[in-house]
Structure 1
Amino acid sequence: MSPSAEPTPEVALIDVTEAVLEQLLELALREADADEVTPPLGTAAGWNTDRISWFREFHRAAAAGLDGPARQKSWAIDCGGQLAGSIRLQWKGAEPTDAAGGGVAGGPGLPGGGAGAGGGLAVLTGVWAAADAGSGVTGGGVSVGGVSGGGVSGGGGLAGLTPGGAGSEAPPDAEAGGAGGAGLGSGGSDAAGGTLETGIWLARSFRGRGVGREALRLVKDRATSAGAAVLVADTTAGNVGALALLKSAGAELVAGAASDNATVPVKGRIPLR
């Protein structure tokens, strides 16, 4: 390793117990914008009671795992013994068929709205839009479809991590924040093995350090073990950090048409087979 190369951070994914959930919430309140982590909820700007309730409900629903009613799983991101953010996975469309040839039954999504831009942890569409490719880009997160609400679109992450439709959360982070317009979002389905969405958000003090890249690598392994053929996330053309993160994971990027506010959506598709 060259003298200028930064060491790979020690990152682990841990289950979100009730105790971890409260620590994650405290971290999000202190070091992430509400729009980077949750869908747009309530009338008051920023972290209001509706967003805080959604945050808790999202993670509690995801605790049942990918085989549970919400068809999603969230993890807290641990970096060197400290919580750094969160990342999630959620089934999109049909899951891989079981050994008997039948489809795996899915469940309803988290309460809330459907997939939509501007969401937060719809992850991982984005529950978590902050992504990190180690570039030091600060901003939003990844949003991947999911828990009631829109997708994450933060200033530096994968919009695909934010919840967007059937109970999702924001997608992997590119060392950014969350749903605030920079995240990764959702993608399509893959008939061969099923498609999982991911989303991610990172606390500001952990962005730009390669934490998002390592978390995305770990969640790719989880997606592969779950039998998925493809991992997807949505972001925007202006989210340099999220795009770099997706590229580092081998994602195929496809830009869509500009929206009314001139935002150009980008879909990332990471083959797992």
Structure 2
Amino acid sequence: MTGQVELRPVDEETLHGLLAVAVADAAPGEVMPPVAGPPGWTTERKEAFLAWHRARRPGLAGPLRECTFAIVRDGRIVGSARLARRDSHDDVLETGLWLARSERGRGTGTATLRKLLDEAAAAGVRAVVAETTAGNPAALAALRHNGAKLTTHRNGADVHAELPVDP
């Protein structure tokens, strides 16, 4: 069962808490773009994780047109979520999130997505899109619960979701 879920902008203190959760309870490939080198949470991967989030601090109006949030449930950081503008549609944001393994299956993803839609409404957009796979039932359930229109690509494995944003 989900407790109180909030999105917290990623400042330096929150960022280090987010990294600690990622290292303790997620694989690097689940939480960040690939980094060359041996598997696991190497020093280089940890530094890349920190740099990736720091670069997004200017937010949707910044040069990367993307912002990240720490997902906080009951006062504890449990994952990360993002919103990003894409060049082709200024009135649509892309989203994605990851949760610590121990947090999955508690409804936190569904609640987080609702909070992301609230953030998107504040940004004045009409829709949020997400990409997932047909083999990710938790993501599909969270998307459906929040009113997403799901489109499966021809390969049958990839799913595109579009969620309307209420003003």
Instruction: Calculate the TM-score normalised by the size of structure 1.
Output: 0.58
| 2:146 equivalent to 1:249 | yes
Asked if structure 1 preserves the Cα contact closer than 8 Å seen for 2:109 and 2:139, the reply is: no
- Normalized per residue, the structure richer in helix is 2
- C-alpha RMSD over aligned residues: 1.5
| 2:13 equivalent to 1:12 | no
Matched with 2:130 is: 233
Q: CA deviation at 1:53?
A: 2.3
Q: Which amino acid aligns with 2:159?
A: V
Once residues 207 and 18 of structure 1 are traced to their aligned partners in structure 2, the CA distance between those partners, rounded to angstroms, is: 25
Matched with 1:108 is: none
Matched with 1:206 is: 103
Asked if structure 1 preserves the Cα contact closer than 8 Å seen for 2:25 and 2:102, the reply is: yes
Counting only pairs closer than 5 Å after superposition, residues 104-253 of structure 1 correspond to structure 2 as: 189=89, 194-253=91-150
Q: Which has the higher contact order (CA 8 A, sep 6+)?
A: 2
SS of 2:117's equivalent? helix
Matched with 1:34 is: 28
Once residues 11 and 138 of structure 2 are traced to their aligned partners in structure 1, the CA distance between those partners, rounded to angstroms, is: 30
Q: 1:79 aligns with which of 64, 73, 82?
A: 73
Q: What's the % identity of the aligned pairs?
A: 42
Unaligned runs of 5+ in 1: 1-5, 95-188
Asked if structure 1 preserves the Cα contact closer than 8 Å seen for 2:70 and 2:80, the reply is: yes
Unaligned runs of 5+ in 2: none
- Normalized per residue, the structure richer in strand is 2
Q: CA deviation at 1:82?
A: 0.7
Once residues 49 and 33 of structure 1 are traced to their aligned partners in structure 2, the CA distance between those partners, rounded to angstroms, is: 14
Q: CA deviation at 1:34?
A: 1.1
Asked if structure 2 preserves the Cα contact closer than 8 Å seen for 1:42 and 1:48, the reply is: no
Once residues 217 and 34 of structure 1 are traced to their aligned partners in structure 2, the CA distance between those partners, rounded to angstroms, is: 25
- Deviation per CA, 1:31-70, whole angstroms, max 9, x where unpaired? 0011111122212112233432221111111111111111
Once residues 130 and 43 of structure 2 are traced to their aligned partners in structure 1, the CA distance between those partners, rounded to angstroms, is: 28
Q: CA deviation at 1:210?
A: 1.0
SS of 1:194's equivalent? strand
Q: Which amino acid aligns with 1:31?
A: D
- Deviation per CA, 1:159-180, whole angstroms, max 9, x where unpaired? xxxxxxxxxxxxxxxxxxxxxx
Q: Count residues in correspondence.
A: 166
Q: Which amino acid aligns with 1:230?
A: A
Matched with 2:87 is: 93
- Deviation per CA, 1:95-119, whole angstroms, max 9, x where unpaired? xxxxxxxxxxxxxxxxxxxxxxxxx
Q: Which amino acid aligns with 1:68?
A: G
Matched with 2:56 is: 62
Instruction: Calculate the TM-score normalised by the size of structure 2.
Output: 0.93
Q: CA deviation at 1:23?
A: 1.1
Runs of 4+ in 1 over 3 A off after TM superposition: none
Once residues 194 and 54 of structure 1 are traced to their aligned partners in structure 2, the CA distance between those partners, rounded to angstroms, is: 30
Asked if structure 2 preserves the Cα contact closer than 8 Å seen for 1:66 and 1:72, the reply is: yes
Q: CA deviation at 1:92?
A: 1.0
| 2:164 equivalent to 1:271 | yes
Once residues 40 and 127 of structure 2 are traced to their aligned partners in structure 1, the CA distance between those partners, rounded to angstroms, is: 34
SS of 2:18's equivalent? helix
